Structure 1
Amino acid sequence: MDRMTRRGLMQGAGAMAMITTPLGAGARARTAPLAQPRVGRYRGLREGGVMAFKGIRYGRAARFARAVPEPFSGPEQDATQFGPLCPQRGMAEAPQSEDCLFLNVWTPDAHAAARRAVMVYFHGGAYANGSVTDPLTHGSHLAAGGDVVVVSVNHRLGPLGYAWLRPLDAQAADSGNLGQLDLILALQWVRDHIAAFGGDPSRVMVFGQSGGGAKIATLMAMPAARGLFHAAATMSGQQVQASGPGHALARTRAWMARLGLGDDGVAALRAMPIARLIDALDTPDPIMGGSLYFGPVLDMTNLPRHPFWPDAAPQSLDIPMILGNVHDETRAFLDPRGPKLAGLTWDNLPQRIAAEVKIDLDPQWVVAQYRANAPEWSAEQIYYAATTAGRSWPGQVIEADARAAASAQATWVYQLDRPSPRDPLRGAAHTDDIPYVFGTLDAPGSYSGTDAQARALSATMMAAFSGLARSGRPGLADWAPYRLPARATMVFDAAPHMADDPRGWQRRLWATAPYVQPGS
C-alpha cells in the first residue's frame, strides 16, 4: 500500500466539506437571533456556529481524597467561562485552584434527540501541567466541522493527582491515581448527562495528545473505566508501564523531604498552602533525574496491571483505536536554536543523543547505524531522528504491536509528516497534529499555517477522528488497519497516503534494547 487513492481521500475530505459548510453557515444563521442557550441549569454562549458550555463542575474533592460527583440539577449556573486550572508550575497567567474539576461542552444542537457522537479530550502536559483552556483545543470548529459533541476536561495534576501516599496514610487509599479517577468521574458525567447536550452516551470516544494520550492508555487498564468509552485516539502519547509503587514512594518522599517532612507528614501536607506544595516540585527526580515525576501508580486496586506490559490490557481489546505520532517529535522541546544544538558536531553527536533517549544503546553504534542507513543526513537530522525514535515514538510502536499481536479490535496508526510552513526548523514537531484535528489552524500557538494545504489536511484529519467517534472506524475509506507484519501507517502530508512500516529500519534499530517508560 504505497498511496492512498484519490477517491478515498476525497471521500474523507469531501465528507468534511459537506458537513462543515452547511453546518457552520446554517447554524450561525439559525441561532444568531436566539437567546443565550441553556441546558438544564447551565447557561452557555454561542461560539463558532455552535453552543458552548464552559466551566461545568463535574466533581468536588478534598486534598488527596477521591472526588465525589456534582449534582446535575440545582441553582442556575453561568457556563460561559472556563474553570480554573489545577495548580502547576508555569502558566501563571491563567487562574489556578485546587477546586479544578470542571469540563466544557461544545455542541451543534442541544437536544436529546440529536444523539451525536461524543469526543472527549484530555489535555497534554504529562501528568503535571497543561489545561484545556489552550486555544488550540477549543472545540467549536471540531463540533461544527465533525458534527459531533466535543467535551474537554480539567483534572488534578502533579502531587494532587498522583502522589503515592497510601503506604504512609491509610486515609489516602486512592492516592497515586486520583487524577485518573477524576477522568473516570468526568466520563461518568458524560454517560449520565451528555444526552441533554445532544450527545449519544453509547458513542463516546476519548482522545488526547501527549500526556492526554498517556492518560487514555492508562484508563484502558483501569477496571472502573470499562464501558465508559467506546473508541480512543492517542496523539504522541503512550503509557506502556505505570510507575512502580517503590519508585512512586521514593518520588513522594523526595518531594516531602523538600518540604521538610518525613513519613509522618501527610497530615501536614493536607494543611499546607498549595503554593508551597507546587514550589517543592523543583526537587530532582530520585529515579531518573530531571524534573520530579508524578504519574499513575501500579497500586493493584485502581490500576491492577500495567497498561501495555507484558501485553495490551485485555479489557481494552474491544475498543477501536487510533495511535499517532509526528515525524519530528523532539524538535518541539529540543530547540534547534537553543543550547542543546549549539556546537553540534559528528564528534559530540553520540553523547548528545545518549542524554535524551530512553533506550540504552551504545550511542557510537547508534550513530554508525544512522550514517549507514541515511548517509545523506546531517548531524542535526540524525540527532532529531534518533531522539524521536529512541524517546518519543517507541511507546506507540509497542502499543500498536501489542494490540495487533492480541488481535484487538481494529487499530489504525498515523504519522504526521507535513512540516510547519511557519518555521523551517520545526519540521513536524510535538503538538503539531492538534490544530489539524481541532480545526484551530489560526489559533495562537499553531504552526500549521492557514493555506489551502493546511485546510485540506485539517479536513482530512478531522474526518478521520470524527468518523472513529461515529462508527468505530476512521472516516477515511482507504485507511487500512495496522496489522503485523505489514504495519500499515497513514502518512499525513501534503498528499496523505498509506505506507507499510515507513520508518522500519529505525524501528528495528531501537527495538534491539528495552524501552524505559518515563516514570516507571
Structure 2
Amino acid sequence: MSSKFSSRLKKTLAVAAAAAWLIIPAVLPNQQTMVYAAEAQAVSQNVLANTENGQVRGFAKGGVRYWRGIPYAKPPVGELRWRPPVKVDNWHGVLDATEYKSEAAQTGYLGVFATAGGSEDCLYLNVAVPEKQPGDPDKLPVFVWIHGGALVVGAGSDYDPSLLAKEGRAVVVTINYRLGAFGYFAHPALDAEGHAAVNYGVMDQIAALEWVQRNIENFGGDPDNVTISGESSGGQSSQILMASPKAKGLFKNIIAMSSPVMYANGHSISREQAEEKGIGLAKAAGLENATAEELRSLSTEEILALENNYLLDGIITRDGEYVPSSIAEAFKNGEVNGERLGIGNVQNEGSFFAALTESIAGKNMDEAAYRTNLETLEKQYAIPGFADKVMAEYPAEAYGSPAEAYAQVITDSWFAAPIYRIADSLDSKLKVYYYEFSDPQCPKYVATDFEQGTAHTYELPYLFPGFHGSSDIGTELTPKQQKVAKQMAKIWTGMSKVDEQGIWKRFDGDHARYLKLGQGKPQMVDMKEYKQRHHFAFWQNINMY
C-alpha cells in the first residue's frame, strides 16, 4: 500500500467489514450533537410552541426558529423493543427542545458517513421554521427529511435545515428512526406475537409523518402540503412510503434522491427469508431456540457487536402489512401514494462505493480486484456471465483506473438505469420530474487516489450546509455554489408549485428530458446523452431488473 493511500485512509472510510469494533457507549452523544448543544445554549431567546402532548421550548437564531428532540413515540426499549411505535404520553410543564436527542443505535458500518454510537431511545424529530416574511402564505409548505445510511446508520441531527427553511420558505422536519437490527429485524418468536413486525423503521417513519399531520399547524406548517424526501436509503424509504398502504394521505409530494437498485434482483425478500437472518443473529448470541423475552433481554451492545453479519442491509422485507409487495410490483400496479415524484441521481454515484471497496481491501483496486468485485455482484444477481459482459462494456483501460471503471458500473447499474426505469414506470400514475446533479468542483469529504467527480452524497452540502458525515474534512461552498444551493432549496421545497415555477418540467418517457443541476442556472436537457453516458442500451439487455 502506498504511504499516500495509507495516510488518506486515516481520514476517510473505516473498514466496514470490521465496523463492530467502532461501537462507543450508547449513551455518549456524538461530537456534532455536543456542538449543537453548545450552540443552542448560547442563544437566550426562548420560543414556545404547542404540541398534542404539551408545550415545547425551542430557540431562534439567524432568522429561523428551532425545536430539537421532540419525542414522536415512546422510547422503543425494554418490552417496546421490536414492537410498533407507541404514542407519547402527555407531559406537564414545558418540555425543553433546545438540544438534539440521541441518534439511533448504530455501528460504524459506513465508515465516514456516520458516527458509531447512539441509543435505542431515539424516536425524536426536529422542526425548523423560518421567521415570518411578507408574502409568506398563512401556512408554509412542510419538508420532511428521512436520512440515509443503508437503513443501518445516520441521524437527523447530521442535517442542518436552515437553508431549506430560509430560502425554501418551508417548515423543515428531520427525523430519527430505528436502524439496523433494531429497525429491520425478523424472528419467529417476535413475528408470532400478533403485532405488525419486521419493518419497525418503516413504522417509525409513518409514526413521524402522522405526528406531522396532527401537530405541524402549531408550527405554521400546512399538513396538506407535505413533501417527503431523502437521499440513498432515505430516498429508498420515501419510495417504500409511496408504496405502503399505511402511509396513504400522509404526504403530497416525494423527492427520492439517489435511491439505489429499487428494481434489482433480490432487493425484496419474504418474511421467512428475513427470519433466517434473525435466527442467525440469535444463535450467534447463544440463543439456540430464542424466545421473545430472551431476545429483548440482549443488551444494545451485544446486538450491535453481532449485527453486521446478519443485517438486511437495505433489502426490504415484504411483511404483508406495511410493505405488502415488492416496490417494483407496487409501482407496476399503480399502487402509489402522493401526487408528484421528483427523482434522480448525481453523475458519479459509484465513486463513493469504489472508495468504500478500496478501504475494505486496504489498497488501491487493480484489474484483478475489479473482476473479483464484479463476480461478487454476479453471485448476488444470479446472472451467469455478468462479470465478463460488464468487463467487456466497461474495460478498465478505458478509464483512469480500475476503481473508476468499477465506479461507473455502480453508478449505472445501481442508480441511473433503475432510477430511469422507476420514472418511466410511474409516469402514467403520477406527475414525475427527473434530475441529475453534477458539479466536478463539489466539496469532497472522502479522499481517494482516483478522480471522484460528483460522488454519492456529495450533493448534500447544497441542501444542508456543511454536511460532511463524520469526517473532519470541511465542505464549505463557494459563492457560486451557494447560489446553486439556494436555487435547489427553492425547487425542493416548492414541489407543490413546480409547474408554476416553470423550471423543472414534467418527465415524459416518449420525449425524455431531465433537469441539469449543479453548474450555473438549472436547465432542462434532452436525455439522449444521459442514456449514452450511463450505458442504458447495455443495461436493458442485462436481466437484473
2:432 is matched with 411
Matched, 1:333 2:353: yes
1:38 lines up with 2:48 in the alignment: yes
Tell me how far apart the structure 1 counterparts of residues 68 and 43 of structure 2 sit (CA, whole Å). 21
What is the CA–CA distance in structure 2 between the aligned matches of 1:165 and 1:231, rounded to whole Å? 34
What does the per-residue CA deviation read over 1:90-115, in whole Å, with 9 as the maximum and x for residues that have no partner?
39967622221100000014899831
Show the counterpart of 1:143.
165
Determine the structure 2 residue equivalent to 1:243.
Answer: 269
Q: Deviations over 1:219-255 (max 9, x none)?
A: 1121110000000111112544533223211111111
Name the structure 2 match of 1:4. none
Provide the secondary structure at the position in 2 that maps to 1:297: strand
Post-superposition offset of 1:467: 1.4
CA distance in 2, matches of 1:300, 1:294: 18
Tell me what 2:84 maps to: 66
Cα deviation, residue 56, structure 1 = 0.2
Aligned AA for 1:80? T
Query: 1:421, 1:449 within 8 Å by CA — same for their partners in 2?
Result: no
Give the Cα–Cα distance (whole angstroms) in 1 for the partners of residues 228 and 57 of structure 2: 25
Deviates more, 1:166-175 or 1:338-347: 338-347
Deviations 1:278-336 (A, max 9, x none): 111132x5xxxxx6536542121222122222634534265201112111112123228
The residue type paired with residue 439 of structure 2 is R
- 2:345 matched to 1:321? no
Give distance in 1, aligned partners of 2:300 and 2:399.
52
| CA deviation string 1:26-47 (max 9, x = no partner) | xxxxxx9994111021000113
Instruction: Report the AA paired with residue 82 of structure 1.
Output: Y
Any residues of structure 2 matched to 1:6-405 within 5 Å, and which?
A: 35-40=45-50, 41-60=55-74, 61=76, 62-71=80-89, 74-90=92-108, 96-109=118-131, 114-134=138-158, 137-166=159-188, 169-171=191-193, 173-238=195-260, 239-240=262-263, 241-283=267-309, 285=310, 293=313, 296-309=316-329, 311-312=331-332, 314-316=334-336, 318-335=338-355, 338=359, 342=363, 344=365, 349-355=370-376, 360=383, 361-370=385-394, 379-404=402-427
Q: Is the 8 A contact 1:489 1:501 kept in 2?
A: no
2:536 is matched with 507
Cα offset, 1:347, TM superposition: 6.4
Question: Does the 8 Å contact 2:164/2:490 carry over to 1?
Answer: no
Contact 1:479/1:490 (<8 A) preserved: yes
Give distance in 2, aligned partners of 1:444 and 1:395.
29
Matches within 5 A, 1:463-482: 463-468=490-495, 470-471=496-497, 473=498, 477-482=502-507
Give the Å deviation of 1:440. Answer: 4.2
Report how far residue 482 of structure 1 moved: 1.7
State the shift of 1:64 in Å.
1.2
For residues 264 and 434 of structure 1, the distance between their equivalents in structure 2, rounded to whole angstroms, comes to 42
Alpha-carbon distance in 1 for matches of 2:540, 2:92: 55
Give the partner amino acid of 1:242.
S
Displacement after TM superposition at 1:218 (Å): 0.8
TM-score (structure 1 length as normaliser): 0.82
Deviates more, 1:433-442 or 1:47-56: 433-442
Please give the per-residue CA displacement for 1:402-456, whole angstroms capped at 9, x wherever unaligned: 112xx02211111112124445833101111212123447998677542132112
- 2-side partners of 1:363 and 1:330: how far apart? 17
Q: Secondary structure at the match of 1:171?
A: coil
Q: CA deviation at 1:48?
A: 3.1
Q: Is the 1:442–1:450 contact (alpha carbons within 8 Å) kept by the matching residues of 2?
A: no
| Structure 1 residues 390 and 415: alpha-carbon distance in aligned structure 2, compared to 1, 3 A threshold | same
Letter in 1 for 2:46: Q
State which of 428, 447, 453 in structure 2 corresponds to 1:427.
453
What is the identity percentage for the equivalent residue pairs of Structure 1 and Structure 2? 25
Question: How large is the Cα RMSD of the aligned pairs?
Answer: 3.2
Structure 1 residues 171 and 344, CA gap change in structure 2 (3 angstroms): closer
Q: Where does structure 2 lack aligned partners over 5 or more consecutive residues?
A: 1-41, 445-449
Counterpart-to-counterpart distance in 1, 2:470 and 2:201: 28
1:478-514 CA-to-partner distances (Å, cap 9, x unmatched) read 3222221333222223234323144324122122223
Q: Is the 8 A contact 1:161 1:178 kept in 2?
A: yes
Task: In structure 1, list runs of 5 or more residues that go unmatched.
Answer: 1-31, 286-290
- CA offsets, 1:121-160, max 9 Å, x none? 00111111111111xx111221011110000111111222
AA of the residue aligned to 1:160:
F
Q: Is the 8 A contact 2:129 2:171 kept in 1?
A: yes
CA positional deviation for 1:381: 3.5
Point out the structure with the larger helix share.
Answer: 2
Listed one character per residue, the Cα deviations across residues 19-69 of structure 1 (whole Å, up to 9, x for unaligned) are xxxxxxxxxxxxx99941110210001133200000000111311111112
- Residue of structure 2 aligned with 1:489, choices 497, 502, 514: 514
After TM superposition, give the deviation of residue 463 of structure 1 in Å: 1.9
Q: Distance in 2 between matches of 1:76 and 1:99?
A: 20
Aligned amino acid, residue 151 of structure 2: Y
Corresponding letter in the other structure for 2:93 = P
Taking the aligned partners of 1:246 and 1:188, their CA distance within structure 2 comes to 29
Aligned length, in residue pairs: 472
CA distance in 2, matches of 1:50, 1:80: 13
Give the superposition deviation at 1:174: 1.6
One-letter amino acid of the counterpart of residue 121, structure 1? W
Q: 2:463 aligns with which of 414, 437, 440?
A: 437
2: CA distance, partners of 1:442 / 1:81:
20
Over 3 Å counting, the alpha-carbon distance change for 1:371 and 1:122 in structure 2 is same
Give the residue type in structure 2 aligned to 1:122: I
Q: Which residue of 1 aligns with 2:38?
A: none
Cα gap change, 1:475/1:456 in structure 2, threshold over 3 Å: closer, same or farther? farther
In the aligned structure 2, how far is the partner of 1:95 from the partner of 1:363?
37
Given that 1:413 and 1:481 are in contact with CA atoms closer than 8 Å, whether structure 2 keeps it comes out as: yes
Structure 2 contact 251–338 (Cα < 8 Å) conserved: no
Cα distance in 1 between the residues matched to 2:243 and 2:60: 37
Q: Are the structure 2 counterparts of residues 34 and 269 from structure 1 closer, same or farther at C-alpha, using a change threshold of 3 Å? A: closer
- After superposition, the Cα gap between the structure-2 partners of 1:508 and 1:143, relative to the gap in structure 1 and judged at 3 Å, is same
